[in-house]
Amino acid sequence: MEPVRWWQECVFYQIYLPAFCDGNGDGRGDFIGLAQKIDYLHELGIGGIWITPFYPSPLVDNGYDISDYCAVDPRFGELDDFRRVVAACHGRGIRVVIDLVLNHVSSQHPWFVDAWNNPASRYRDYFIFTDQPNNWQSFFSGSAWMPEPDTGQFYYHKFAPQQVDLNWQNPQVEQEIYRVMDFWLAAGVDGFRFDVINFLTTDGIGADNPQSAGEQEHLYDVNQPGLMAVLRRLMAYARARGELFLIGEIGSEDLAVLRRYQAADLLDVVFNFNLGSQKTFSAAAIFAALTAMNEQQPGLPTLFFSSHDMSRMISRFGENERDTDRARAVLALQLTARGVPFIYQGEEFGLTDYRPRCLADISDVQGRTHYQTALAAGMTADEALAIALTHTRDASRAPLPWGEKDALWKDYRELIALRNHIPVLRYGAYTRLALTDACIGFSRITADEQVWVAINFGAPVRNPWQAVAGEVLYGDNAPWLGKNQFVIKRRGYGKAQ
């Protein structure tokens, strides 16, 4: 058996810092606020947090545009505030994973400021300049090439023009990033979440991407063949420095792509968007993703349904915005299935989407860029707004209302506690995984114990585990399971009995 890694023991919680907890009254979340909530996270049973970027930044993309890799933006606090948060988390048994953006830096980063308009700059080759741009498009819409007036060249930006791609063909870039990792490891972090890591331009600029049905197919700009070697070196460097948790954001919903990046010498886990970003609720689709992850993904999958980039789970999955029953049932699945769970801040309060209605409501750079691109393509303001509203990622970025802990919160706490206390929920392999109508039923086993779980998302069905002799840990072991009802049972065999 493979040795157990510390992160397999944890339920993770994503902290989108600007919206988490405001400690200094300026309306923006910060490290002083986060420090005040560590007891709260501990009470919830959280074993690890992932903090989104907090580095100095013009905040064009809420910190995913870093202008200094080795400091804290004053709006979020000081380096010492960060260190205090790490120490307090560790004191509570909570590990700290930070977001690292290696694909691009802010156009305000001193490297780019120096490189811009100065072909002789020693930093020029940290970026990707060309005389002849190809057809590659920005992920946020429009061309990925920005003209540079004085030189007649263009620079490459996969995201906003203010997020300039680093040139991963230049070995100096890699060396710079090793220094960045060392800096944060010295500050005590337990791992990294590597932002859009399959977008690194490791093979330079190649052929035009093909177009199909008006959409660009990202054939040559992402998942470049040379990436694997770079990634292996980066991960080896990190692993040589401690027992870290190395998480990759691979921008794809295709399991065949996702799983390529997960291996002992690559990433520990990747975000399973094939499960996590399903747009509407379907027990069959969730079941299909779980089955595929079990059969086709050699490493542990991740289990999440919300993040700062997507609509909140209740708004996407509920039959209405007050449908916490569905949310509770999905949570039961997330905390009993095989994988590493990540809970997005605020899900435990049953939060629903913030819905921008006009241009002024849109803060997200993706929404705003789509608006500008649509206008430039000759659309009317109303048409452009409609496009922007479908692409903006403001839905789950509203400040957390730190209110009462209601019934759903108590389920979060109890189900997390269950996962923390029952080893088979963390390590067990599936012995069965089946779908009957809209009821997902599975059993997981270790040498010492077994659990049986049935979660019914639809019309009443027979409880598949009613006759199993085991202790009922959660839910009701009735002969029939009604809509959004579930049951979790366990039996010990060996020493754990």
* Least distance in angstroms from the C-beta of 118 to ligand GLC: 26
Asked if 152 contacts 206 with a C-beta cutoff of 8 angstroms, the reply is: no
Sign of CA dihedral 254, 257, 263, 265: negative
Q: Indicate the Cα dihedral angle 427, 433, 438, 439, nearest 10°.
A: -60
Radius of gyration of the chain from Cα atoms?
23
Kind and range of the H or E run holding 172:
helix 171-186
* Least distance in angstroms from the C-beta of 133 to ligand GLC: 20
Say which residues have a Cβ less than 8 Å from residue 141's Cβ, sequence separation at least 6. 366, 369, 370, 373, 391
Residue 195 annotated to the active site: yes
* Least distance in angstroms from the C-beta of 486 to ligand GLC: 31
* Least distance in angstroms from the C-beta of 196 to ligand GLC: 5
Give me the residues paired with residue 193 across strands: 99, 247
Select 104 or 259, whichever has its Cβ closest to ligand GLC: 104
CB neighbourhood size of 495 (10 A): 8
Select 258 or 337, whichever has its Cβ closest to ligand GLC: 258
Residue 274 Cα distances to 54, 290, 331, angstroms: 28, 9, 17
Select 328 or 391, whichever has its Cβ closest to ligand GLC: 391
Select 32 or 100, whichever has its Cβ closest to ligand GLC: 100
Select 30 or 195, whichever has its Cβ closest to ligand GLC: 195
Determine phi and psi for 302, rounding to 5 degrees: -105, 150
* Least distance in angstroms from the C-beta of 63 to ligand GLC: 9
Burial (0-12, 13-18, 19+ Cβ within 10 Å), 78? middle
Which two structure tokens, joined as six digits, stand for 381?
Answer: 């303001």
Q: Which one is catalytic: 195, 348, 394, 411?
A: 195
Select 61 or 348, whichever has its Cβ closest to ligand GLC: 61
Residue 249 annotated to the active site: yes
* Least distance in angstroms from the C-beta of 165 to ligand GLC: 11
What's the CA gap between 122 and 119, in Å, rounded? 9
User: If you search the block for the tokens 């907890």, which residue do you land on?
Assistant: 21
* Least distance in angstroms from the C-beta of 403 to ligand GLC: 26
Which two structure tokens, joined as six digits, stand for 122?
Answer: 């020693």
- How many Cα atoms sit within 13 Å of 364 on the Cβ side? 22
* Least distance in angstroms from the C-beta of 115 to ligand GLC: 20
Select 100 or 440, whichever has its Cβ closest to ligand GLC: 100
Kind and range of the H or E run holding 329:
helix 324-336
Which two structure tokens, joined as six digits, stand for 494?
Answer: 């060996």
* Least distance in angstroms from the C-beta of 408 to ligand GLC: 25
Q: Indicate the Cα dihedral angle 253, 254, 258, 259, nearest 10°.
A: 140
Residues that bind ligand GLC (CB under 6 A): 61, 64, 101, 159, 195-196, 249, 308-309
Say which residues have a Cβ less than 8 Å from residue 293's Cβ, sequence separation at least 6. 255, 272, 274, 275, 301, 339
Select 200 or 453, whichever has its Cβ closest to ligand GLC: 200
Select 195 or 268, whichever has its Cβ closest to ligand GLC: 195
Of all residues in the shown chain, the one whose CB is closest to ligand GLC is 64
Q: Which one is catalytic: 249, 347, 348, 364?
A: 249
What's the CA gap between 315 and 328, in Å, rounded? 13
**DSSP state, residue 267:** B
**DSSP state, residue 225:** T
What's the CA gap between 457 and 369, in Å, rounded? 38
Task: Give CA 320 to chain center in angstroms.
Answer: 25
User: Of all residues in the chain, what percent are helix, strand and coil, respectively (each to 5)?
Assistant: 35, 20, 45
Q: Could you give the residue numbers annotated as active site?
A: 195, 249
